[in-house]
Amino acid sequence: FCRVATADTELHGRTIREGQQVLLAYGAANRDPAHFDDPERFDVTRTPNNHIAFGFGTHFCLGASLARLEINTFFTTLRDRVSGLRRLTDRPHVEMPNAFVYGLRESHMAFTPR
Q: What is the pLDDT of residue 66?
A: 98
Give CB contacts under 8 A, 24+ apart, made by 23-30: 25/1, 25/99, 25/100, 26/1, 26/52, 26/53, 26/100, 27/99, 27/100, 27/101, 27/102, 30/102
* Residue 112 host element (H or E): strand 109-113
Q: What is the pTM of this model?
A: 0.67
Q: Which of 21, 16, 24, 25 is nearest to 4 (CA)?
A: 21
Per-residue confidence in pLDDT tens, the chain, 114 aa: 789 999 999 999 999 999 999 987 777 778 889 888 898 888 888 888 888 888 889 989 999 999 999 999 999 999 999 999 999 988 888 888 776 677 788 889 999 999
Euclidean distance between CA atoms 80 and 29, whole angstroms: 34
Spans of all domains in the chain:
1-53, 70-114
Q: What is the pLDDT of residue 73?
A: 98
Element (H, E) at 65: helix 64-81
In three-state secondary structure terms, 10 is strand
Cβ proximity of 55 and 61 under 8 Å: yes
If we measure between CA atoms, which residue out of 107, 108, 112 comes closest to residue 81? 112
